């Protein structure tokens, strides 16, 4: 593979920077949630929604924004998303309204949805095929670093407490990042629109409304009414599929060509993405609340719990490309087994050392981060490498949508289990330990999908 030039590295950095900002914002605010609860006087469920509202906006609009990029150009839509993110970060930093804060987070998610598919296409179109495994490994590392270090960065921002603004500084942190991207936008390659078709209003409405109802009610699930609304959301998505098939038969442009799910290993690949990221997001949420409410740690101390995890992830991310060449796709299964082992030992260790800050428990978190990096860094590239070029943008959007939907499910289900168990037993350690079982189950499913999709299937393909 030909080495990247300095100009190509600079261009790649500017292309990656928006995605890093999106990933950081997924969890920078999480360490401040208990303080936001206190200062705004909101409930645990509302705090959950401030966190997951961001992923709700992302998951709901990713598919639609992929079409926007094809219609009006990836660079134009990316810069539009950055501009919206800038304005919404200002509003989020100055508001004292719980409702406005939730709407801002949903809006930031929608802005992120405008950005992310464009980045994926620019990566794929801007570099030769022999470089793409390397580029996608870097992309996986950037995404993971944003998730793992977002909590640490949030803790540092809270500790610095510039101008005594507290959690508001987390929103203001985005402003110089957005300005830097806008100022350096000349380095982003311009790709001409590939379609002149108008927006499919009917299909777009069904997709957005169906996704919103489904995800919103999963977050705020209460009673039989929630079940009914979830079924309505599923029905709307079913009709969306019918509308897209009709348009495809008429040779009209569609938002989703469902043929993408017939691409080699793609369906099981996104199932593995859902499971591994649901386990990760669920664990991060548990660690944040257990540290602050169960152990009485400050926001800054809570952020530093994620330091060894982030160090392990970074090391594995850098080395994963070489390890993948030597071991092949079995590296993914090794990563899952390592995560399972480190978390099982952590559950038993907490019985004797409930504090996450002991050397042994921090070492276990380092190991978890190491194996997380081994698994997630190459995963997206492995899935997309076999996808046809015509589906690259759509497939990328679907993967990212599933990733953020897994965040919602991880917080809603695993975080909800923590709240219920801790509330019933009045014991945060029990809530944390028992909720970790949900994380382990997700990892077991991940291992199953890895084994059947990327290992056994590859063996069968190579033997034919």
pLDDT digits (tens, 9 = 90+) for 322-336: 888 888 888 999 999
Q: Do both 249 and 261 map to the same domain?
A: no
Measuring CA to CA, which residue among 148, 196, 150, 145 is closest to residue 173? 150
Give the residue numbers spanning the domain of 302.
Answer: 6-185+255-456
Q: Do both 245 and 101 map to the same domain?
A: no
Is there a domain that residue 464 lies in?
A: no
**pLDDT score of 125 more than 60:** yes
Contact between residue 182 and residue 83 where contact means Cβ atoms under 8 Å apart: yes
Separation between Cα atoms, residue 122 and residue 12, nearest integer Å: 9
pLDDT (average), residues 405-433: 86
Q: Do both 51 and 111 map to the same domain?
A: yes
Q: Do both 207 and 337 map to the same domain?
A: no
Q: Do both 122 and 211 map to the same domain?
A: no
> How far, in Å, are 28, 153, 256, 357 from residue 305 at the CA level?
14, 11, 41, 7
pLDDT (average), residues 124-145: 75
Position of tokens 């999963």? 218
Mean pLDDT (the chain) is 86
| Domain boundary pick from 210, 233, 254 | 254
For 290-427, where are the alpha helices, taking DSSP H only?
Answer: 299-327, 330-352, 359-384, 392-409, 416-425
**Torsions phi, psi for 96 (to 5 deg):** -120, 15
Q: What own/partner pairs with CB < 8 Å and gap ≥ 24 does 70-73 have?
A: 70/193, 70/194, 70/195, 70/393, 71/193, 71/195, 71/196, 71/197, 71/199, 72/193, 73/190, 73/191, 73/192, 73/193
- The pair of structure tokens assigned to 338 is 């390592």
Taking each helix axis as running N to C, give the angle between helix 174-183 and helix 74-94, from 0 to 180 degrees, rounded to the nearest 10: 160
- The pair of structure tokens assigned to 289 is 């609340």
Is there a domain that residue 193 lies in?
A: no
Measuring CA to CA, which residue among 410, 401, 387 is closest to residue 237? 401
Is there a domain that residue 1 lies in?
A: no
> How many domains does the chain fold into?
2
Measuring CA to CA, which residue among 375, 273, 388 is closest to residue 324? 375
Residue 211's pLDDT band (cuts 50, 70, 90): confident
**Angle subtended at Cα 289 by Cα 283 and Cα 294, rounded to the nearest 5 degrees:** 120
pLDDT of residue 175: 97
Q: Do both 223 and 350 map to the same domain?
A: no
Contact between residue 4 and residue 128 where contact means Cβ atoms under 8 Å apart: no
Is there a domain that residue 420 lies in?
A: yes
| Domain boundary pick from 239, 254, 269 | 254
Measuring CA to CA, which residue among 188, 191, 198 is closest to residue 69? 191
Is there a domain that residue 463 lies in?
A: no
pLDDT of residue 457: 56
Q: Do both 274 and 216 map to the same domain?
A: no
Is there a domain that residue 72 lies in?
A: yes
**pLDDT score of 1 more than 70:** no
Measuring CA to CA, which residue among 332, 329, 326 is closest to residue 447? 332
Q: Do both 101 and 211 map to the same domain?
A: no
pLDDT of residue 38: 83
Separation between Cα atoms, residue 29 and residue 302, nearest integer Å: 12
pLDDT of residue 322: 83
Q: Do both 209 and 265 map to the same domain?
A: no
Q: Do both 208 and 83 map to the same domain?
A: no
Contact between residue 107 and residue 379 where contact means Cβ atoms under 8 Å apart: no
pLDDT (average), residues 294-305: 86
Which residues neighbour 454 within 8 Å (Cβ) at sequence distance 6 or greater? 265, 269, 272, 329, 332, 382
pLDDT of residue 149: 82
Q: Do both 241 and 362 map to the same domain?
A: no
- The pair of structure tokens assigned to 180 is 């830097």
Position of tokens 């990566």? 123
Q: Do both 314 and 225 map to the same domain?
A: no
Q: Which residues of 22-41 are buried (b: 16+ CB within 10 A; e: fewer)?
A: bbbbbbbbbbbbbbbbeebe
Contact between residue 314 and residue 373 where contact means Cβ atoms under 8 Å apart: yes
| Domain boundary pick from 228, 254, 280 | 254
pLDDT (average), residues 428-445: 94
Q: What is the dihedral of CA 9, 14, 19, 22, to 10 degrees?
A: 140
CATH number of the CATH domain containing 292: 1.20.1250.20
Is there a domain that residue 462 lies in?
A: no
Q: Is the pTM of this model over 0.75?
A: yes
pLDDT (average), residues 99-127: 87
pLDDT (average), residues 439-452: 93
Q: Taking the CB of residue 188, how many other CB atoms lie within 10 A of it?
A: 20
Is there a domain that residue 10 lies in?
A: yes
């Amino acid at each position: 593979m030909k080495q990247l030039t300095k100009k190509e590295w600079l261009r790649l950095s500017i292309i990656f920077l928006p995605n890093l900002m999106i990933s950081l914002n997924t969890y920078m605010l999480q360490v401040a949630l208990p303080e936001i609860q206190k200062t705004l006087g909101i409930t645990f469920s509302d705090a959950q929604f401030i966190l997951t509202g961001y992923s709700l906006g992302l998951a709901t609009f990713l598919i639609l924004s992929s079409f926007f990029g094809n219609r009006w150009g990836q660079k134009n839509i990316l810069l539009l998303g950055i501009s919206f993110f800038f304005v919404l970060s200002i509003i989020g930093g100055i508001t004292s309204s719980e409702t406005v804060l939730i709407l801002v987070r949903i809006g930031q998610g929608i802005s992120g949805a405008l950005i992310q598919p464009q980045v994926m296409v620019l990566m794929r179109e801007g570099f030769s095929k022999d470089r793409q495994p390397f580029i996608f490994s870097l992309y996986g590392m950037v995404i993971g670093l944003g998730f793992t270090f977002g909590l640490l960065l949030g803790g540092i921002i809270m500790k610095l407490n510039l101008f005594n603004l507290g959690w508001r500084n987390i929103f203001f942190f985005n402003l110089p990042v957005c300005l830097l991207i806008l100022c350096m936008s000349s380095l982003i390659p311009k790709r001409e629109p590939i379609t002149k078709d108008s927006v499919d209003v009917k299909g777009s409405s069904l997709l957005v409304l169906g996704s919103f109802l489904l995800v919103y009610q999963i977050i705020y699930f209460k009673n039989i009414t929630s079940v009914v609304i979830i079924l309505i959301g599923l029905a709307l998505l079913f009709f969306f599929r019918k509308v897209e098939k009709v348009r495809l038969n008429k040779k009209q442009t569609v938002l989703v060509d469902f043929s993408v799910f017939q691409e080699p290993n793609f369906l099981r690949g996104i199932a593995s993405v859902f499971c591994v990221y649901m386990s990760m997001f669920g664990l991060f949420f548990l660690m944040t609340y257990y540290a602050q409410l169960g152990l009485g740690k400050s926001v800054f101390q809570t952020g530093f719990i994620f330091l060894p995890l982030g160090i392990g992830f970074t090391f594995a991310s850098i080395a994963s490309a070489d390890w993948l060449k030597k071991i092949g796709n079995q590296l993914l299964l090794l990563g899952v087994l390592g995560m399972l082992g480190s978390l099982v030992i952590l559950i038993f260790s907490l019985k004797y050392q409930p504090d996450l800050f002991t050397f042994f428990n921090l070492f276990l978190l380092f190991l978890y981060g190491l194996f997380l990096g081994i698994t997630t860094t190459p995963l997206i590239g492995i899935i997309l490498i076999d996808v046809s070029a015509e589906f690259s943008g759509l497939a990328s959007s679907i993967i990212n949508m599933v990733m953020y939907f897994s965040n919602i499910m991880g917080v809603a289900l695993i975080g909800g289990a923590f709240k219920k168990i801790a509330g019933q037993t009045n014991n945060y350690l029990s809530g944390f330990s028992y909720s970790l079982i949900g994380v382990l189950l997700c990892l077991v499913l991940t291992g199953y999908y890895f084994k059947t999709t990327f290992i056994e299937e590859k063996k069968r393909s190579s033997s034919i």
